[in-house]
Amino acid sequence: MTTATYTVSGMTCEHCVHAVTEELTAVPGVSSVDIDLNPGNDSRVSVTSEAPLDVEQVRAAVDEAGYDLK
């Protein structure tokens, strides 16, 4: 297992957290997602997976949820 931390902008509430979590857990190999919500600022997103993830897969999932990976 490996954990990577990303910065996501645009999240403001628990609905945002749910949307990002749902999209990221759909990425193959992802076992858990933990989000430290910082409303109105950049939020920290930790993703645990079986193997290191391609950052473009993570970016696409975050984008699908409507937010920006920094």
pLDDT score, position 5:
98
Alpha carbons 51 and 66: distance in angstroms, whole number: 25
DSSP 55: H
pLDDT score, position 40:
86
Domain count, the chain: 1
Alpha carbons 3 and 63: distance in angstroms, whole number: 20
> Tell me: the pLDDT tens digits for 12-69?
999 999 999 999 999 999 999 999 999 989 999 999 999 999 999 999 999 999 999 9
CB 49 within 8 A of CB 30: yes
> What CATH number has the domain bearing residue 19?
3.30.70.100
pLDDT score, position 17:
98
pTM: 0.94
Owner of token pair 């076992």:
31
- Full domain range(s) for residue 15: 2-69
pLDDT score, position 12:
96
